[in-house]
Chain A
Amino acid sequence: MRVQPVTNCEKAVILEALKIGKRFDFRSLEEFRDVKLVVGAEVGTAICTIGNTKVMAAVSAEIAEPSSMRPHKGVINIDVDLSPMANYANEHDRLGSKGMELIRLLELIIRDSRCIDVEALCIRAGKEIWKIRVDVRILDEDGSLLDCACLAAITALQHFRRPNVTLEPHHTLIYSEYEKAPVPLNIYHMPICTTIGLLDKGQIVVIDPTDKETACLDGSIVVACNKRREVCALHQSTNLILSTKQIERCVKLAMARAEALTAVVSDVIKQDQIERSAFKRPDGFAITTPSLILTAGTTASRQIRAPVIKTEPESFTQRSLYQPSVILNENPLSVGSVKQEDVDEETLLAEQLTTIQNSVGQVEVTEKQTVAVSSRKREVEEVNDLLDGLDDDDEEEEVQTMTLGSETVLNDVPMEEAPDAEDSLVNAKKKKKK
């Protein structure tokens, strides 16, 4: 079908508003839209929503024969489906120029940045390898399509588990998920995409432009970087001459965004692992309907409060280490042992920590938001006292705690993981109470 043309008056008003720093959805020029991230009940599926842009990603794996050039490395295939459901200008089963650009950039970011260990996907060199397939389906399109698709694909890859494989001398045993626990992929880092629109020959930066704003801008630059401030991809569309200072400014904005979104992805995956390890069937995409992820723009909805799971940091670490090998376990003794309840101060601290993390995560917690905000501000002040020489963050306040917390971890020991960040936050609270 045809694309509705952009009218002259519409373009004039949008450009006039952008040049004085105003947007039609009440954001400032350097403010991102809300990200909603849901993982499905099936492992390896995720839905990501940025504003009105919705992308679903699903990861599957099969055993294939390797190519003769690389006999000891697995294969990762990216498949993008741009259907007319997303935008009525798209055609069935044809990518077009926008689709080709999207699929090439996704391949560059996910495959060529080496964020996944492809050598670990080898079963027998030269004979059997795992072939990972990432299906990205665009559900709705309103600008920043690559950001949403990349985040959905990265989350689905984090969420994916492949079957366990045992090598015998002359044959290969593949276990189902009921016999042995599936194995997660070996992911080194998470590249996060950020689209930054440029105006007035690069003088004005418009972050996360919508579809109408994209039609009015001079061009845009896409920066993909990870939490460790490494640039994985840099892509510029349309003819635009930029100086290195402008590109560095865009890269700096994208790095702050990548740290915030990495914390969101880690929190969503961790929440899902907690639910699965407690022998619950996760809700998956069922919570998307009442929480306004797939039905944007409707009337009042029911607000789902995230389940506050009482977990101590130490027991959580042990439980993540001793992940159960059988998912459906009918032993009542082990079920009872998992659901022990300890009423301690540490439990209350863990509850508050979980509430703060859930407010960053997938489901909105409206009733406890004031308490979370006030305690978050105090933690932000404490972390700001610890960090002196860092730059100011332009992120939203909701993710600022996680960003600064991860920066603390980066400054002390760069290679530590998220539970240590929890420990530092809990220790900060203990010091405050004393």
Chain B
Amino acid sequence: MTVYLPGDVINEPSSSDSSIIGYGISVRGQTRIATQPGAFHNDDGKVWLNVHSKRYIPQEGDRVIAIVTSKTGDFFRLDIGTAEYAMINFTNFEGATKRNRPNLKTGDIIYATVFDTTPRTEAELTCVDDEKRARGMGQLNGGFMFKVSLNHCRRLINPSCKILQTVGKFFKFEITVGMNGRIWISASTSDDIIKIHDIINKSEFITDEDELITLVQNNYTRSVSD
């Protein structure tokens, strides 16, 4: 694994001639220059840098967790952790019509997909897919939401990740991971929410599976406010 700093010229040979330039890399003429510090990845004609960051930049197709901040006419203004607010139309919810509007208040959170990220305008979100189905998106009720780094979110939604599988053996919980660094968890008691929140926060820098199992077991047997 090669680590590049901003300004470095990337000379890795690609496996195919047509390369798709990913995050953290920009093309200047014939050369590729790293714009973010990160580890280089190359997979089937795609090149990108794995960057550790906490600030989210909206990308089209990302699933994010948004906070409703206000309502402006037909649009809700949402906070997704970026410099500008995002927007969502009330018709972008499942089954929403002019007579049947979604009931969202300030402070509610929703799970949505970014579908328009034109530069110099606000990002637009949607809670339905092309067939007007929610597929798990929409308002998230109850639970607890907290923030972690973007790397940890990408790691959690990796199918080969062991963190959520190990936690699932000890606790019964429901989790939604947003690509903007926000995680929403819901469990039956406050103790479980506190313990799962602590496990997810501390497992960011754990790479060994035995260490992860030890952390989950310790939190399972631990009493809150001991």
CB within 8 Å of B: which residues of A? Answer: 1-2, 4-14, 16-17, 20-29, 31, 298-299
Contact = CB atoms under 8 A, between A and B. Distances in A.
Contact of B144 (A13, A21, A22, A27): A13
Contact of B225 (A7, A27, A298): A27
Contacts, number: 71
Given A4-B79, A5-B106, A27-B225, A10 B194 contact: no
B190 A9 contact: no
Interface string B184-223: 1000001101100110000001000000000000000010
A4 B67 contact: yes
A22 B226 CA distance: 9
Nearest to A298: B205
Contacts of B224: 17, 22-23, 26
Interface of B is mostly: mixed
A17 B190 contact: yes
Contacts of A14: 144
Contacts of B105: 8
Contacts of B141: 9
Contacts of B184: 9
B107 A5 contact: yes
Contact of A7 (B107, B190, B194, B222): B107
B225 A5 contact: no
A23 B191 CA distance: 9
Given A22-B190, A26-B225, A5 B143 contact: no
A13 B143 contact: yes
B76 to A, nearest CB: 13
Contacts of B10: none
10 contacts: A1-B83, A9-B140, A9-B142, A9-B145, A10-B144, A13-B144, A13-B190, A13-B193, A24-B194, A26-B225
A372 to B, nearest CB: 21
Lowest 9 CB-CB distances: which A-B pairs, in order?
A8-B107, A28-B225, A299-B205, A13-B144, A17-B190, A22-B224, A7-B107, A7-B109, A22-B225
Contacts of A7: 67, 107-109, 145
B225 A23 contact: yes
Contacts of B225: 21-23, 26-29, 31
A16 B224 CA distance: 14
B143 A9 contact: yes
**Residue among B146, B190, B191, B226 with the most chain A CB within 10 A?**
B190
A214 to B, nearest CB: 16
